[in-house]
Amino acid sequence: MMSLSTRSATESDVPFIHGLLNGYAEDGKLLSRPETEIAKRLDAFIVATENDEVIGCASLETFTTELGEVRSLAVTPEFQGKGHGRNLVSVIERMGQERGLSRMIALTYVPGFFRKLGYQIVSMESLPEKVFGVCVTCPKFNNCDEIAMQKRLSPTEAPA
């Protein structure tokens, strides 16, 4: 039986995460991230596993006390369509809620996927935290072709 599970990324996951992201970057579906950046921001990454094999990843980028981003979301092609991407986004959103974030964004080439998860298309101009925090260093800054999407998170219930 297949089990959908995620866990915090570890140092031993860095080469896999780097390879997966770069594979999609070469196809123009994701922006690449240097291995050193992944290692430095490892605490923001989670990985998806199926039968103890790492098959996907995602990270939570936090911009402000209210805004976070689902970033570096990728699942190996042979494991797509099985709910791993949805599960990764759900875990990232939960992490955001636990940190008190009220909005989550995603910059994507697959808006249909995020729309199914409750995200709506927004203008890039409505996200100055992202544009001036991360986008300015991107090689595609002046001709970005990603679609900005946003979802409002419901506040988590404080434990009684």
Q: Residues 86-99: pLDDT tens digits?
A: 999 999 999 999 99
The pLDDT of residue 160 is 46
The pLDDT of residue 46 is 97
Virtual CA dihedral for 105, 93, 129, 23, nearest 10 degrees? Answer: -70
**Could you tell me the domains of the chain?**
5-152 (3.40.630.30)
| Enclosing H/E stretch for 150 | strand 147-152
pLDDT in 10s for each residue of the chain, 160 residues: 456 799 999 999 999 999 999 999 888 888 788 999 999 999 999 999 988 889 999 999 998 889 999 999 999 999 999 999 999 999 999 999 999 999 999 988 888 999 999 999 988 777 755 555 555 555 555 566 678 889 999 876 544 4
Rounded distance between C-alpha atoms, residue 83 and residue 85, angstroms: 6
Beta strand 5-8 with 53-62: parallel, antiparallel or unpaired?
unpaired
